[in-house]
Amino acid sequence: MKVAFIITISLFISFSGISQDSSAIHRKIPIDGNRWYQLTNAEYGLQALTDGDTINNVFTGWGKIINYYDSYYPVIDGESITIDSIRMFDRTGPIAVPTTLFAIDSNWNRIKIATYSGGFYNQWIGPYPNRSTTFKLDTAVKNIRYLMLTNGDDYPVELELYGYYKSPNPIPSLNKKSVKLGNVFGVNGYEWNFENPLTDPTIIDSTLLKPIKTFTGFRHYMDWQKLEATQNSYTYNPTRSGGWNYDTIYAVCKSNDITVLADLKTQPIWMQNTWPSNLINEENVPVVYGKNFADPNSYLEQAKVAFQYVARYGSNALVDRSLLSVNSTPRWTGDKINTIRVGLNTIKYIECDNERDKWWKGRNAYQTGREYAANLSAFYDGNKNTMGAGVGVKNADTAMKVVMCGVADPSTDYFRGIIDWCKEFRGYKTDGKINICFDIVNYHYYSKDINNTTGTAPELSKTDSIAKAFINMVHQYAYDMPVWVTESGYDLNQNSTLRAIPIGNKSPQITQADWLLRTSLLYARCGVERLFFYQLYDNDTSSNNYSTCGLLNNNSSRRPAADFIYQVNKMFGNYFYQQTLNADPVVDKYSDSTNAMYVIYVPDQIGRTTNYTLQLSSGDSAFVYTPTPGADTMSVIKYKIINGTITVAASETPVFVTTKNAAPVTNSNNRYKLYPNPGNHFVMIDSLYNNSSISLINSSGQLIKTEKNSNTAYKMNLPNIVAGMYYIKIEDAYGTHCLPFIKTNQ
């Protein structure tokens, strides 16, 4: 039977008789399974639909928020497809809901070309259920822009298309971006992280502000309710809900070189009240109840508040004030009142909501990529200025950058749905580019192990592959626009499935510090231009995921993760990634306008150490900086360059190497010599002053042992301790000095 079908196929291919451009040839049309994307929260893609396997069913996962949905296959630049014949392998028998295959032509017409209903077990069938052995289409389909499947969870086991095919144009080479190291040290937080509601929510609390200066970016979780507690009545200073002073928060961020990303999110209470009481949830899609998620006009209210906000905090001082309004009614006698202000120039980035792919909240809180594109189009420019005056970000400030919401599922499917909606409904600019309704791509990713049972080092998770997928995607479809990651982090509670684990003598806090710093370095290496960690403080002490991700303690002191960020940014924040010289240990080269810097570390989570010989092109000395918990500066050791190289002891904590001292190195620190480093059974310390106290301290700050010495050289025997990073603390008449030391098992 199978041979007979193959003969039939060969016959209709040979005599299809469709004339085509000479560059197209008649053949089985190659389908790149990775190109399909699904407009639902599918766990797996559609690669199996065209993989040649007629035994195993196509499975895209359980728990879809939309059970009957569309999937798109884009035809890319230079590619040409004409379909004249289709066959599908049926292995499932009859299905309840047929699967329909459409071709979308150059005029966006949907043309049904095949229906799969099953019922012909274990055989090839054609596109017409009532003519199952007819494979040839009644009419060939040309000028195909997309293929589209509409279906439930039932697919043919295999799909084959035949006709004329021309290969796409080559994709131009990707030029990796040179990311500034300081830009990947952002953090998420709230207005109460700046202003204390127990004292005065309208002024900056200096105790709260000090540790925030650790970070270069602040993603402000900004609830719509704060801005518009009453519809069409806007407040900023003070906000009608909570009494916060946004003017001052943003001004102090600007004065401290902290870039703010304002994330406008959630429904205000007056919008929630349009929903039935049993459906109310502030994280529902931001529309009045009953509105069509796919219609840009449904998002008018959100686009209006975005205009008002950007007019105030953007850079355009010429906004038409007649379009602006504030609630100037005092809350009580003597209360400060809101006034209209424009062009304060304190915000350059605004994000349209947060995680709009909230499948866990149900359909009322979930938008497909195409629905969210409609939302973005209203938010961006009032759907190309069709929604009236005073609507949309760009109509208040053309310089303001719109950031798409950070998606919870870091799949490029969602983004591609947005882009294709823009092609269809926003069209193309005069320069031929797609009229895209956002400026920056954004996603969230928390590094877990493959079983989602614990956090894992960024290099051992999908962090790298996902980042590269997004970078390649925007290169192919969106003109290399910036890619940001606006949530990433690790819990400290050891019952969380997102926890940072203890490694050797390192506490979870030190592991969190290592992994977050390495996350920043990994994203800079991939070309992700900004990163914001989740978040400033713990939500609570529970084992719930994301509850204990805080980088600061409740008393506003820095945890080790914040120490590492503070120290590295202070010394090397103005350096830009250049290239990767080695994979294991990782060796990345950075530079500023005049100097080179090298980052070296082991990309593992077992306490592994190794030596690396680094080639240096200039200088007679090198300085090796190691992030240090509980300090304001990294510890530093000066090494003599011999024959153009130094040997660096690499561990799972990154070290930073320069030939020009980036910060003062005390003469006393230069004086001491530690060897062997790394070492196993002992460490020698030379050039000591008389009557020194020498201590061995682990990376968590715990004292292991202390010994006294009255000579200029001393041998410290190492106890039976686990391998990892330690510090030799030397106390003498000239002060206290800490030198990093790596203990090995070899």
Per-residue pLDDT tens for 491-534?
999 999 999 999 998 999 999 999 999 999 999 999 999 999 99
What's the gap between Cα 348 and its chain centre?
19
Sheet of 714-717, strand order: 673-675, 682-686, 714-717
Question: pLDDT at position 141, please?
Answer: 97
Residues 162 and 279 in one domain: no
Cα 302 from Cα 266, distance rounded (Å) = 10
Name the residue with tokens 């609507």: 391
**Domain boundary at 413, 428, 443, which?**
428
Residues 113 and 259 in one domain: no
Cα 655 from Cα 658, distance rounded (Å) = 10
Cβ atoms of residues 654 and 588 within 8 Å: no
- What pLDDT digit, counting tens, does each position of 697-732 carry? 887 677 888 888 888 788 888 888 888 878 888 887
Residues 26 and 142 in one domain: yes
Overall average pLDDT of the 358-364 stretch = 97
Question: pLDDT at position 43, please?
Answer: 93
- Domain of 399 in residue numbering reads as 217-428
Q: Would the pTM count as exceeding 0.95?
A: no
Question: pLDDT at position 472, please?
Answer: 97
HEC-encoded secondary structure of 527-548: CCCEEEECCCCCCCCCCCCCCC
- Is residue 437 classed as helix, strand or coil in its secondary structure? coil
Number of structural domains found in the chain: 3
688 pLDDT higher than 90: no
The CA–CA distances, whole Å, from 41 to 37, 66, 686 equal 10, 8, 62
Alpha helices in 38-108 (DSSP H): none
Residues 132 and 272 in one domain: no
For helices 369-385 and 300-313, give the axis angle rounded to 10 degrees: 60
Q: One-letter amino acid identity for 100?
A: T
Question: pLDDT at position 20, please?
Answer: 52
Residues 314 and 422 in one domain: yes
Residues 110 and 224 in one domain: no
β 483-487/530-533 pair status: parallel
Cα 422 from Cα 376, distance rounded (Å) = 10
Alpha helices in 448-577 (DSSP H): 463-477, 508-526, 560-572
Question: pLDDT at position 508, please?
Answer: 97
- Is residue 741 classed as helix, strand or coil in its secondary structure? strand
Q: Does residue 328 lie in a domain region?
A: yes
Query: Burial letters for 640-661: b for 16+ Cβ neighbours within 10 Å, e otherwise?
Result: ebeeeebebbbbbbbbbbbbee
Q: Bridge-partner residues for 149, per DSSP?
A: 71, 101
What's the gap between Cα 459 and its chain centre?
15
Of the listed ranges 187-196, 219-228, 336-345, 668-677, the one predicted with least confidence: 668-677
Cβ atoms of residues 143 and 149 within 8 Å: no
- What pLDDT digit, counting tens, does each position of 297-318 carry? 999 999 999 999 999 999 999 9
**Domain boundary at 428, 448, 481, which?**
428
Q: Give 6's pLDDT tier (boundaries 50, 70, 90).
A: very low
Mean pLDDT of the chain: 93
15 pLDDT higher than 50: no
Cβ atoms of residues 549 and 234 within 8 Å: no
The CATH number assigned to the domain holding 739 equals 2.60.40.1930
Cβ atoms of residues 705 and 682 within 8 Å: no
- What pLDDT digit, counting tens, does each position of 432-461 carry? 999 999 999 999 999 999 999 999 999 999
Cα 657 from Cα 624, distance rounded (Å) = 5
Cis peptide before 410 (omega within 30 of 0): no
Q: Bridge-partner residues for 695, per DSSP?
A: 706, 729
737 pLDDT higher than 80: no
The CATH number assigned to the domain holding 23 equals 2.60.120.260
68 pLDDT higher than 60: yes
Residues 162 and 231 in one domain: no
- What pLDDT digit, counting tens, does each position of 532-586 carry? 999 999 999 999 999 999 999 999 999 999 999 999 999 999 999 999 999 999 9
- Is residue 79 classed as helix, strand or coil in its secondary structure? coil
Q: Give 666's pLDDT tier (boundaries 50, 70, 90).
A: very low
Q: Give 660's pLDDT tier (boundaries 50, 70, 90).
A: confident
Q: Does residue 557 lie in a domain region?
A: no
Per DSSP (E only), the strands in 190-323 are: 217-223, 259-265
- What pLDDT digit, counting tens, does each position of 195-217 carry? 999 999 999 999 999 999 999 99
Q: Which helix (H) or strand (E) holds 9?
A: helix 2-14
Residues 308 and 162 in one domain: no
Question: pLDDT at position 200, please?
Answer: 92
Residues 268 and 123 in one domain: no
**Domain boundary at 378, 406, 428, which?**
428
Cα–Cα–Cα angle for 344, 350, 353, rounded to 5 degrees:
140
Q: Does residue 173 lie in a domain region?
A: no
Helix, strand, coil in percent for the chain, rounding step 5: 25, 30, 50
Question: pLDDT at position 123, please?
Answer: 94
β 99-105/483-487 pair status: unpaired
Q: Does residue 172 lie in a domain region?
A: no
Residues 229 and 373 in one domain: yes
Q: Does residue 343 lie in a domain region?
A: yes
Q: Give 93's pLDDT tier (boundaries 50, 70, 90).
A: confident
Q: Does residue 288 lie in a domain region?
A: yes
Q: Does residue 201 lie in a domain region?
A: no
Instruction: Give the other-Cβ count within 10 Å of 279's Cβ.
Output: 11
Q: Which helix (H) or strand (E) holds 12?
A: helix 2-14
Residues 146 and 241 in one domain: no
Nearest residue to 262 via CA among 353, 325, 203, 349: 349
Residues 264 and 410 in one domain: yes
Cβ atoms of residues 88 and 125 within 8 Å: yes
List of residues 6+ apart from 201 with CB closer than 8 A: 191, 192, 195, 238, 242, 243, 244, 245
Q: Does residue 57 lie in a domain region?
A: yes
Cβ atoms of residues 497 and 448 within 8 Å: yes
